């Protein structure tokens, strides 16, 4: 006897599952007043009902051969708390009935989640360890508005999608279920039927906080709030760390290939091992910040992390979420900021991910002219959909707040801004005004930046934007995108092209080194020598330099010196600091053995000294983004390939002079204009012997000649070593 249960619904329960399980499972009162309990336990031999004291109440009757059990009580019976004793073939166990619990999410949560304005949506959706109605367990919630039904599956129910059917929350598209007795570490996915009743591939949790190690793809229940942070002092002082007038020298790192364990089959280091090895190294080298290539969960190592599946989960390749927090904490204890690459521009098509999540284009656009990237073979988020917009905005805040990240470097911004990015005519759809600008993506980026900076906790954002889009790093209220910084891709391309030329031809490429100063103050620029410059057959940094071995290293040292003197914050990809001689390979360790060579060791020593000099010399960083912080001395000496300029701090009296000679010819007693008639000292010389240089042309006892030159008040005669950069500072009594 099914007691008010339609036979068709019963058959659905035991076959494909039913989309509104709470209406038929659990404790109910029938039309005749009879109280009954109904459960679906397909593999069970017997099911018994016990009360809260553990006392046996009744053995349930199997009312459907597919595993529907039912117990009936008279009309006089009242609702009570109960549990099940389930007899399997070889064992028995006790569990609560998930279908006797009230909803966890409140109506207000549902409203804001549906509206797309719940900035802490990750506190509601996903899997959360909670105590509900006096019982501990896990609340699961997922957005799948076009699914016919949704289930939670895992080892706890033998991956049987009929066992834990979720509750639909009205027309919101949100499904939820509290499963009692589940604990941290449970592996799970979502099983969905599309609107036509077809079974979709099992899906990982879009808000999953932890995942199985690839190639496995399930999500794992994890409590992300248990870690005890030790970085309070750093957080309190962080507001000054990312200010525009602060020194910012970034070490860009791919965690999987920075260093490996050769004695253990070249395995990758864990987050905690990186805390022991990477943190001291970055501290010793003097960097102010570290930037990680994407750490969010991704299925394919070869994507370097840029094809993200789990936007809310640090990758399990290196450990747990708490292990990642430990690494961030370790950097903060050493006063080093942590930036992570964030990828809202696209996502992969892997079947367990967001693509076609509920059988429809839920997170992406249906039309491939807007919903797919040709270049990467990935999907594009539908930034105009409120729920998707909120998913991404909340994710940005999630990394900043839950993982104490100092800044987000947003990848591939140009691909988001232009509807015709990497598309031919006819392959893209104009906006409502007929233009190529992605208005929805622009609005999204502004919202992220407004909320990040609105927290007023020292967060920053950095755009990798490769076009001339205006005002990327200007506030949104002025019409900008609102980023804190922008990568200066033009400077990088121009200067590397110049450096690749044989010095005899550099006079014809002279403008490549000066052109960047025409637009240097239009944005808050970071000068990036990133991973993108040492992959895809581009060679290594040292490999780009011309000449014999000595000249290659001299060129690279001179170039780095020029970079540190140039306006803009600094970024150098790992391996560049010791002139790795091969392209970066994501599956291999850096070539640390090269440090046995004096030239490679010399470059590393120079970068360490440059970082120290940079941080203690306000003229090199205080006024990076205003014209008053920079002045050419001579930008036109193309025949000698010499560049000379002044960098000023906030006070005009606080300045240094940067001189670069990009030929192998010594410029002895080179006449140079200076702004003050006083003594000068050489505070940096890339040709020092300790750096691998000649050490023969250091300047001593420099004194102003009292003779105007280069339109400056006084002048000096300096020795400029071959292929070298030197920096001078006034030495006043």
Q: What string of H, E and C letters represents the secondary structure of 642-694?
A: EEEEEEECCCCCCEEEEEEECCCCCEEEEEEEECCCCEEEEEEECCCHHHCCC
Mean pLDDT calculated for residue range 188-212: 97
How far apart, in whole angstroms, are the C-alpha atoms of residue 347 and residue 363? 10
Question: What's the mean pLDDT in 2-21?
Answer: 83
| More confident site: 125 or 18 | 125
Between vectors from CA 711 to CA 706 and to CA 716, what angle results, nearest 5°?
40
Q: Do 490-525+545-569+618-733 and 107-220 have the same topology in CATH?
A: yes
CATH superfamily to which 249-487 belongs: Glycosidases (3.20.20.80)
Q: What is the pLDDT of residues 478-494, one digit of tens each?
A: 999 999 999 999 999 99
Q: What Cα–Cα distance (Å) separates residue 283 from each residue in 445, 573, 636?
A: 32, 16, 39
Q: Where are the domains of the chain?
A: 7-100, 107-220, 249-487, 490-525+545-569+618-733
Confidence category of residue 2, pLDDT binned at 50, 70, 90: low
Mean pLDDT of the residues in the chain: 95
Domain 107-220 classification at class level: mainly beta
In the predicted structure, residue 131 carries a pLDDT above the cut 70: yes
Reported pTM: 0.95
- Whether 30 has a pLDDT exceeding 60, the answer reads yes
Q: What is the dihedral of CA 472, 418, 441, 294, to 10 degrees?
A: -80
Query: pLDDT over 90 for what percent of the chain?
Result: 90
CATH assignment of 7-100, among 3.30.70.2470, 2.60.40.10, 3.40.50.920, 3.40.50.720: 2.60.40.10
Q: How confident is the model at residue 212 (pLDDT cuts 50, 70, 90)?
A: very high
Let me know how many helices (H) and strands (E) the chain has, helices first.
14, 37
pLDDT at 133: 94
Q: Compute the average pLDDT of residues 97-120.
A: 92
- Which are the catalytic amino acids? 411, 464
- Which pLDDT value is given to residue 565? 98
What per-residue confidence (pLDDT) applies to 1? 47
CATH class of 490-525+545-569+618-733: mainly beta
pLDDT for 60 equals 94
pLDDT digit string, tens, across residues 674-732 = 999 999 999 999 999 999 999 988 888 899 999 999 999 999 999 999 999 999 999 98
Q: How confident is the model at residue 652 (pLDDT cuts 50, 70, 90)?
A: confident
Residue 606 neighbours by CB distance under 10 Å = 27
Distance CA 442, CA 725 (A): 41
User: Are β-strands 724-731 and 655-661 bridged in parallel, bridged antiparallel, or unpaired?
Assistant: antiparallel
pLDDT value for 18: 86
Query: What is d(CA 109, CA 112) in angstroms, rounded to the nearest whole number?
Result: 5
């Amino acid at each position: 006897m099914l007691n008010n249960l339609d036979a068709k619904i019963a058959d659905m329960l035991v076959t494909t599952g039913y989309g509104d399980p709470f209406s038929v499972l659990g404790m109910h009162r029938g039309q005749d007043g009879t109280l009954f309990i109904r459960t679906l336990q397909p593999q069970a031999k017997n099911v018994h009902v016990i009360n809260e004291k553990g006392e046996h109440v009744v053995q349930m009757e199997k009312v459907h051969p597919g595993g529907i059990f039912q117990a009936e009580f008279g009309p006089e019976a009242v609702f009570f708390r109960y549990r099940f004793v389930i007899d399997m073939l070889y064992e028995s166990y006790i569990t609560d009935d998930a279908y006797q619990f009230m909803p966890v999410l409140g109506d207000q949560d549902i409203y804001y989640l549906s509206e797309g304005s719940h900035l802490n949506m990750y506190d509601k959706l996903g899997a959360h360890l909670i105590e509900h109605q006096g019982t501990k367990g896990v609340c699961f919630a997922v957005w799948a508005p076009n699914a016919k039904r949704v289930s939670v599956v895992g080892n706890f129910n033998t991956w049987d999608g009929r066992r834990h059917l979720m509750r639909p929350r009205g027309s919101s598209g949100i499904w939820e279920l509290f499963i009692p007795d589940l604990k941290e570490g449970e592996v799970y996915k979502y099983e969905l039927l599309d609107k036509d009743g077809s079974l979709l591939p099992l899906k990982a949790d879009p808000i999953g906080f932890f995942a199985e190690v690839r190639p496995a793809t399930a999500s794992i229940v994890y409590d992300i709030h248990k870690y005890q942070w030790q970085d309070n002092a750093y957080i309190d002082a962080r507001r000054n760390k990312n200010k525009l007038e602060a020194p910012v020298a970034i070490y860009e790192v791919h965690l999987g290939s920075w260093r490996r364990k050769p004695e253990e089959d070249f395995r990758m280091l864990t987050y905690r091992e990186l805390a022991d090895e990477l943190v001291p190294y970055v501290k010793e080298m003097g960097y102010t910040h570290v930037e990680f290539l994407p750490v969010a969960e991704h299925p394919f190592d070869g994507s370097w992390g840029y094809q993200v599946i789990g936007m809310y989960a640090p990758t399990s390749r290196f450990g747990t979420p708490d292990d990642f927090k430990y690494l961030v904490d370790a950097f903060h204890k050493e006063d080093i900021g942590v930036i992570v690459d964030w990828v809202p521009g696209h996502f992969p098509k892997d079947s367990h991910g967001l693509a076609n999540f509920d059988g429809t284009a839920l997170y992406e656009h249906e039309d491939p002219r807007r919903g797919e990237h040709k270049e990467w073979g990935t999907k594009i988020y539908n930034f105009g959909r409120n729920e998707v917009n909120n998913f991404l905005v909340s994710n940005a805040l999630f990394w900043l707040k839950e993982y104490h990240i100092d800044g987000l470097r947003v990848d591939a911004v140009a691909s988001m801004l232009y509807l015709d990015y990497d598309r031919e005519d006819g392959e893209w759809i104009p906006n409502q005004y007929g233009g190529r600008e992605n208005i929805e993506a622009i609005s999204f980026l502004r919202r992220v930046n407004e909320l990040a900076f609105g927290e007023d906790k020292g967060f920053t954002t950095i755009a990798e934007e490769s076009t001339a889009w205006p005002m990327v790093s200007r506030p949104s209220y002025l019409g900008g995108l609102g980023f804190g910084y922008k990568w200066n891709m033009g400077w990088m391309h121009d200067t590397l092209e110049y450096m690749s030329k044989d010095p005899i031809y550099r006079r014809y490429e002279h403008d490549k080194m000066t052109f960047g100063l025409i637009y240097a103050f239009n944005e808050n620029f970071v000068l990036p020598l990133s991973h993108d410059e040492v992959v895809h057959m581009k060679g290594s940094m040292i490999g780009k330099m011309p000449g014999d071995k000595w000249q290659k290293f001299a060129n690279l040292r001179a170039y780095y010196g020029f970079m540190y003197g140039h306006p803009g914050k600094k970024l150098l990809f790992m391996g560049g600091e010791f002139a790795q001689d091969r392209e970066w390979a994501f599956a291999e360790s850096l070539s640390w053995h090269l440090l046995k060579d004096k030239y490679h060791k010399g470059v590393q020593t120079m970068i360490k000294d440059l970082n120290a000099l940079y941080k203690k010399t306000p003229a090199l960083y205080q006024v990076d983004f205003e014209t008053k912080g920079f002045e050419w001395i001579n930008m036109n000496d193309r025949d000698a390939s010499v560049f000379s300029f002044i960098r000023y701090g906030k006070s005009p009296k606080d300045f240094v002079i940067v001189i670069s000679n990009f030929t192998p010819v010594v410029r002895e007693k080179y006449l140079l204009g200076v702004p003050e008639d006083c003594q000068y000292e050489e505070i940096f010389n890339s040709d020092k012997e300790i750096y691998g240089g000649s050490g023969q042309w250091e300047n001593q006892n420099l004194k102003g000649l009292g003779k105007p030159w280069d339109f400056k008040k006084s002048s000096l005669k300096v020795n400029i070593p071959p292929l070298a950069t030197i920096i001078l500072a006034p030495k006043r009594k």
